[in-house]
Structure 1
Amino acid sequence: MPAQTHPAPATSPSPEPPPGVPTQLTCAFPFRDADNKEIVDPQKFYDALSLTNDGFFPLGVNGFPHGGIHFGNGSAARLDQTRGVRCIADGEIVAHKIDDAHPHLQFTDGKWAAYSTGFVLVRHRLTMPPAPNNTSQQPADESHDIYSLYMHMADWTTYLAAPKVPRPYWWDVDAYSVLGKDRQHPAADGDAGGAAGAFVWTEPKAGKKKGQYSAGQQVGFLPEGCEVIIGEKRGPWGHIQTIAAGGMTSPTSGGEFGLDDSSLPWEASDARTAGGAAVTPKGDWGWLFLPGLQSVKEPKQVGHVVVPPAPIPVKAGTLLGQIGEYQDYERATPLPPASRRKLLHLEVFADDGFSAFLTKSRTRAAQLPADQKTLLVIDAGAKLVQNVAAADRKLGRDHPVYSTKPTDDSPSSGPWVKVQPRYSQTSSGLLVADGPPVWIERDKAAAPVNGMPAWSEFPLRLQDVADPASGFPLIHSRAQLDALDAKKQAIDEHNVRWWRVPFRTADGKSASGWVCSARHPGTRWENPWAWPGFEIVDATGINLTDAFKRNLLVTDTADWQEKKAFEPSAVAVNNSPLLLKLEQTVAGEKSGGNSGKVTAKAMQAAMRVPSLAQAMSHVILRYESEWGGDMSRWNAITPLMRNAKGNWLKELERIKKLQWWDEVKGKVAGFPGGATVLHIHPVALVANFATRRRIDIAKFLTLYKDAHSANFGWYESASSPKHNLPPLSGKSEENLKTLLEWIEFLYASKSEIFNIRYVAYMLATSRIESYDFHTQTFFGPFSELISYDKAERDYGSGPTALNPTRAIAHHNNTQGDGYKYRGRGLVQITWKANYENFTPIVGVNLADQPDEALSWKNAAVIMVEGMIRGIFTGKKLSDYINEFHADYVGARRIINGTERNIVFAEYAKKFETLLMECI
């Protein structure tokens, strides 16, 4: 508990808690990178998408408006698609379909193509932040539903063929896969055993002790990879309810199995019964030894669209399934097809009401506080700092430089560090300052030499902005900027951040420069709810037949007779709002040699340029979904197919089988009745709402639970031996999760310099300070369990007080103050002065209402702000911890001198080790 007070800094606005009204959509990109690391830069996705053959947004390779994006064989080189598709935002599954097996399409020349009709449809609720100072219930029109669609998911056969492939947790049946721990008995002595798998047994018998069961007799065998549904369980034994995949055979290799050797709950043959062989009752599959099985998930229903009775909640990043197959004619084979083309179609859409929601959202964003603006907008025409200013000093000119110690206001990261040069005084041998502090290159600070260049002022200055100017608007999330390489980030003495970013000039040339976080001309910060750069473009006026004709012209695949006839169609499409918008985007992109024509090749090239990729992805496309609507628009293309008409008719069959819209509408509340919707680019959506979340909380909880009892353990006192603890309780785990969410919200998501060691020491402090030993609950705010009399002795100023002078110095000067201001929260703040100091920080008068320090919101703010800003004792985390070193022993002075400092340090080191695996 804090032992002294320190004047509080200026008042801070009280933040909203993570579990409260959602002010930001929690998002995750659908895949990690090829090294299985989280991606924060959306350009990595645009680069990956440029490697695919089709599925471009908002115009497909066939020239039709296209509301989604494709991930496939091309993008697999840049993204880890092997681990499955992740949900892009918190939401709930409202419909899904899993093919039993991929359907096959046979073209007129006999070739076969497999394709998936499976999908997962997730509904997400967007709720804009409430109006400032508004305490009334938020109006309904301040929320709106959007849907993410994951189309062409893997079939059930794929999972059965690869039992180790991860399956979605939300599948509603717990099943078991047979491992290869047993082996069939050989047919004769000396023969090798048969297949690997698991023996099937008759009913296990109860043992003498409660809960013990002995094996029955072997009656069958399930080969490795078979899947079963288990019903009743007795100890380690499970009763087979259903064999979901595979089939049962004899326990002896080549032996007879049941009547007619059928893989069904059997009636034993006369020969087997006469031989005295063990059998199960009629219709009974038998029992399995559960340690020989692996728990897996199975879908309850396959082969048709399922609308769950109650939506299934899912979090951003949740596995939704594996990518399925989608083969076009070019990849069709003469024989029934094998896997040749994995493909995911991912899209996000909303009904027409989203237009009004977007308008109101932008109005609300303008009313919100500046500290909620997390998107840096660089306008077209903005100039950046191209070059670092020339150094104006050389160290050691008058004296040899012996040391360069960082100043207190020097940033702990970035290419430059502010230092105080020192030299050794000849007469005394003392180190004395060699002039005022200067800036030097960080990688040279450890070994300063005479003649080292230095800067009297920070090397990046706004007055040095210069041509060339940015030719296109560019938007960066704070998460994206903070993920840049360390050499491309800098911090000046005023705590202003600088980032070196690439941009595109008006004449199509690549350039880069430094942009800063404050007062940079031509830049501004925007709230995600302003949806900067997004623009609704209506493409419903584009006739599909006209689009097809135009595409034949621009790809030069129309014959000489068609070119003249198709020209009016091309003009009509080119004059549509969508094509005019895209022409503006790709017109200056010459790398494809398209002279501004909007073709697939030009769009691929544009996706590799951040500003152009961003412009295309910020289109909100209003168009009829390909998963619904009338087939007449597709049928109208048939006369144009020439000698490919037969195969096109087959494709029409496929298009019809892929349409699921009518099977969902009317069954899912709020789902659009019509298939004309607004399509939002999934990558652009995630990038817009990207947070600076740093810690994988779910992974951390898993790692910590394993380490809690023995590795961390518990010390009764600083000198006592460590002993083991019971497993982490459910309440303690819930507390730890909430604590991490608060640390993320208050520190990791907002801090200028994120240091994982800060988090480690916060967790170590909370683990000891907020341990309620009466309930053995960790990590939760609680009130010190102390009697009134003891509190008055320890903290009071009355006649029984042990140190009334100290109590009065901490403003405990009234009878009862010792008990009233006893320890509370996550760090057990004591003394009235501390409660007064934190009153402006939390926005609640803690001196009058000390129990308010027990709420999660206030307890977390007290701990995080108090440790970072030095409110408890005047010592703060940065006094002991930086990016190079952590004095966890000394850091105890932030809270309470040296009490148990060695124990706190041990826990902090252990937390740091776990955290490093989770960022």
Structure 2
Amino acid sequence: MTTTSSNPERTPPLKKLNFAFPFRKAAEDQNKPPKDFTDPQEFLGLLHKEFHGAYAVSREWLWHGGIHVTATGAGSSLDLSHGVRCMADGAIVAWRLNKTYLANDLPADGEVPAFQAQYSSGFALVRHIMEFPASNSLTFYSLYMHLQDLASYDADQTQLRPSYWTKWFRVASGANDKPNPSASGMSAPPEHTGLQVSASKSGGRIIGILPRGAEFSLTKREGNWGQIEAIHASALVPPRVGSFIEADAAVGGWINLERNGDTHVITPFTPDAALDRVVVPVAPIPVKAGDFIGHIGRFDSITDRNAARMVHLEFFSGSEIQMFIEESRRWLVENAAKLAKWKQLGLSATPTILRIDTGTKLYASPNWEGRDAPTTDVIQSHSLAELAKGPEGPVIETNRGSDGKRMRWWKVPSADARRREISGWIREGNFAGGRVSREFAQKWVDFEVLDALHDPAHTIFASTEQWADYASGADVPAVGGINKLSPLMQVVFRQLFETNDGNQAANDLAVASQDKWTALRASRLIVRHESEWANPEKWDQLITAIEKTTGPTVTLNAEWERIQKLVWWEEVGAQLRGFPSRTFSTSILSPWLEISGQVVPVLANFYLRRIFSRSP
């Protein structure tokens, strides 16, 4: 978090940070374009199709810090053909592109045939900066994991390719520039035919000729002209036959890439040196919310031996998240009612979120409770802008209430104690039926930072051995009860299930994402936990515990091999300044969280995961 003093009278407006959903809706038919999501609840409904890969506990009773979108699950209702989109304005700071998918070769097992389980270790990492108030900033990241390999793009030339990939160029056969003849009239040999390198964009002095097949990279591109960064294959030919030229003379020179409308003088390609390795660019590459990041890639199941395509998505940040939230809330306590303070930041002074507490009665109609009014058993927060789009609201009071104000009434959905769907009307303030309030998004309404000890092997249990007992169905008292969970997961459980007796706590956590109200509450939990993308040695403990029950298996060995290929944290941290050196992580920005005054269509029940650095 940045904290620098400034003159409050000269505080510049905050820079707007735009957000976007990672996918558009699938087109209704081939003749219609895909549409953007506007209702996060609609996206939430699609995520319920994902049996595996939910936040924050997997079906295997392990910590999971992001969400999965698969081609056969939520992806069946999404526009996958146009790929994954960047979720917020920022800059790409790292990526990995597989030349071809990696694979686990699984031998035949009885009647089960041999299977090659392909998977992608490719990813893109984007850095973002959020600010509120002035001089209080949070750096966070979005991760797009298991992206499509290069071979798949080569097989389908119609697919858009990510613009951030390392790009080299090869002089193509359509390039026909030749060196001038020597003083004696000797012509250049055919192998010296290629593309001119000029001293300036306008042409000017010819530095030399890059022969056909030469490979080079650019520092920048301006229109049809590109400035040469380096020559990677072949050598520059002198501009006149028999003359001399320095080997690096082309560096800084300019080359016309599409001269005379001929688009075949060069061929772009991704060099092998940039494949199957973590790439951290010298300068981060700017990207906007909604920009194309890549297509979902292969991630075949080792256990089920079936082909699958998916992407893992998450947000994360450094340990300053706690201080950032506290400073935001502190500013609101001191300045929420001061219009001038909001104006200095370029923000509206009007609250934008409607919060409805548990135990709130939902009236049959505005100002009329009706008979047997249902009572909420969940905490909800709605964007007032989204509620206003509803077909039945708002209704503005014609007479002043007991507080002397004319307030709006909103019809809202909710759930009762048995998780049955209910709906009804509430007054947006001073409501006799319960606690309803208008809140500022910058308050981080109902967000909780949770920090306690957890199993280093990423199980939700207090120890890996207790996880193995539960997973194997061991005859152990209260094997899946709350007291068997790690201290951290006990806290998580109580946040999600306040009145649950905890006898089946492990199972309840594993299926929590299937209840949208529980998933919504989980989305407000910022859980401090080690990242799964670092320190692969931690999984050794888990595999050892499994082998005590099953013995070594082909499946376990394949899972271990895959884990070693998926991690990337240490490689990024070694090259990216300011990246957390240790990896303790967390949760989400809630649906339609409004940051800095604008509505942010972050996934409903999509989980902003923040990684905390911690001293060794």
TM-score, normalised relative to structure 2: 0.69
The residue that corresponds to 2:341 in the other structure is none
1:24 positional shift: 5.9
Question: Which of 119, 122, 126 pairs up with 2:130?
Answer: 126
Are 1:158 and 2:152 counterparts?
yes
Are 1:469 and 2:473 counterparts?
no
The residue that corresponds to 2:537 in the other structure is 631
- One-letter code of the match for 1:44? E
Task: Give the Cα–Cα distance (whole angstroms) in 2 for the partners of residues 482 and 466 of structure 1.
Answer: 27
Question: Which of 498, 507, 519 pairs up with 2:418?
Answer: 507
The residue that corresponds to 1:651 in the other structure is 559
- For each residue in 1:34-72, what CA deviation from the matched residue of structure 2 results, as whole angstroms up to 9, or x when unmatched? 343222332223222221121111111211111111111
Are 1:662 and 2:570 counterparts?
yes
Task: Give the Cα–Cα distance (whole angstroms) in 2 for the partners of residues 229 and 101 of structure 1.
Answer: 32
Task: Give the Cα–Cα distance (whole angstroms) in 2 for the partners of residues 287 and 616 of structure 1.
Answer: 53
Query: Are 2:90 and 2:126, in contact at CA under 8 Å, matched by a contact in 1?
Result: yes
Are 1:350 and 2:317 counterparts?
yes
Task: Give the Cα–Cα distance (whole angstroms) in 2 for the partners of residues 44 and 307 of structure 1.
Answer: 36
Query: Are 1:27 and 1:88, in contact at CA under 8 Å, matched by a contact in 2?
Result: yes
The residue that corresponds to 1:81 in the other structure is 80
Question: Which of 294, 298, 302 pairs up with 1:325?
Answer: 298
- One-letter code of the match for 2:290? G
The residue that corresponds to 1:64 in the other structure is 62
Question: Which of 543, 563, 568 pairs up with 2:475?
Answer: 563
Are 1:381 and 2:359 counterparts?
yes
Query: Are 2:88 and 2:128, in contact at CA under 8 Å, matched by a contact in 1?
Result: yes
Query: Are 1:383 and 1:466, in contact at CA under 8 Å, matched by a contact in 2?
Result: no
User: What's the % identity of the aligned pairs?
Assistant: 27
Task: Give the Cα–Cα distance (whole angstroms) in 1 for the partners of residues 320 and 495 of structure 2.
Answer: 27
Query: Are 1:27 and 1:686, in contact at CA under 8 Å, matched by a contact in 2?
Result: no
1:691 positional shift: 6.4
Task: Give the Cα–Cα distance (whole angstroms) in 1 for the partners of residues 396 and 69 of structure 2.
Answer: 38
1:648 positional shift: 0.8
Describe how 1:615-630 pairs up with structure 2 within 5 A: 615-630=521-536
1:634 positional shift: 3.2
Query: Are 2:453 and 2:487, in contact at CA under 8 Å, matched by a contact in 1?
Result: no
- One-letter code of the match for 1:115? Y
Task: Give the Cα–Cα distance (whole angstroms) in 1 for the partners of residues 424 and 383 of structure 2.
Answer: 17
Q: Go from structure 1 to structure 2 and tell me whether the alpha carbon gap of 1:364 and 1:289 turns closer, same or farther (over 3 Å shift).
A: same
Describe how 1:742-781 pairs up with structure 2 within 5 A: none
Describe how 1:348-747 pairs up with structure 2 within 5 A: 348-369=315-336, 371-387=349-365, 460-461=366-367, 467-484=373-390, 486-491=391-396, 496-520=407-431, 521-538=434-451, 540-544=453-457, 547=461, 558-559=472-473, 562-564=474-476, 572-574=483-485, 576-582=487-493, 585=496, 598-599=507-508, 602-606=511-515, 609=516, 611-641=517-547, 642-643=550-551, 645-677=553-585, 679-681=586-588, 684=590, 687-689=593-595
What 5-or-longer segments of structure 1 have no aligned partner?
1-15, 131-137, 178-198, 206-217, 220-227, 245-263, 266-285, 334-339, 388-459, 696-919
Equivalent position SS for 1:581? helix
- For each residue in 1:634-663, what CA deviation from the matched residue of structure 2 results, as whole angstroms up to 9, or x when unmatched? 344324231563321221121111111111
Query: Are 1:167 and 1:296, in contact at CA under 8 Å, matched by a contact in 2?
Result: no
Task: Give the Cα–Cα distance (whole angstroms) in 1 for the partners of residues 453 and 80 of structure 2.
Answer: 33
Task: Give the Cα–Cα distance (whole angstroms) in 2 for the partners of residues 694 and 575 of structure 1.
Answer: 34
- One-letter code of the match for 1:52? E
- One-letter code of the match for 1:615? R
1:625 positional shift: 0.6
Question: Which of 18, 26, 31 pairs up with 1:26?
Answer: 18
Query: Are 2:175 and 2:265, in contact at CA under 8 Å, matched by a contact in 1?
Result: no
Describe how 1:777-816 pairs up with structure 2 within 5 A: none
Task: Please provide the CA RMSD for this pair.
Answer: 4.2
The residue that corresponds to 1:816 in the other structure is none
Query: Are 1:40 and 1:483, in contact at CA under 8 Å, matched by a contact in 2?
Result: no
Task: Give the Cα–Cα distance (whole angstroms) in 2 for the partners of residues 296 and 482 of structure 1.
Answer: 52
Larger Rg: 1
What 5-or-longer segments of structure 2 have no aligned partner?
1-8, 28-33, 109-113, 179-189, 204-209, 217-232, 235-256, 338-348, 400-405, 602-616
Describe how 1:137-152 pairs up with structure 2 within 5 A: 138=135, 142-152=136-146
1:386 positional shift: 2.1
1:631 positional shift: 0.6
Task: Give the Cα–Cα distance (whole angstroms) in 2 for the partners of residues 299 and 497 of structure 1.
Answer: 57
Equivalent position SS for 2:553? helix
Q: Go from structure 1 to structure 2 and tell me whether the alpha carbon gap of 1:152 and 1:617 turns closer, same or farther (over 3 Å shift).
A: same
Deviates more, 1:50-59 or 1:361-370: 361-370
- One-letter code of the match for 1:376? L
Are 1:42 and 2:40 counterparts?
yes
Q: Which structure is higher in RCO with an 8 Å CA cutoff and minimum separation 6? A: 2
Task: Give the Cα–Cα distance (whole angstroms) in 2 for the partners of residues 644 and 632 of structure 1.
Answer: 18
- For each residue in 1:819-851, what CA deviation from the matched residue of structure 2 results, as whole angstroms up to 9, or x when unmatched? xxxxxxxxxxxxxxxxxxxxxxxxxxxxxxxxx
Task: Give the Cα–Cα distance (whole angstroms) in 1 for the partners of residues 513 and 164 of structure 2.
Answer: 36
- For each residue in 1:276-317, what CA deviation from the matched residue of structure 2 results, as whole angstroms up to 9, or x when unmatched? xxxxxxxxxx99985676999765632211111111122222
Task: Give the Cα–Cα distance (whole angstroms) in 2 for the partners of residues 631 and 150 of structure 1.
Answer: 23
Equivalent position SS for 1:357? helix
Task: Give the Cα–Cα distance (whole angstroms) in 1 for the partners of residues 422 and 196 of structure 2.
Answer: 62
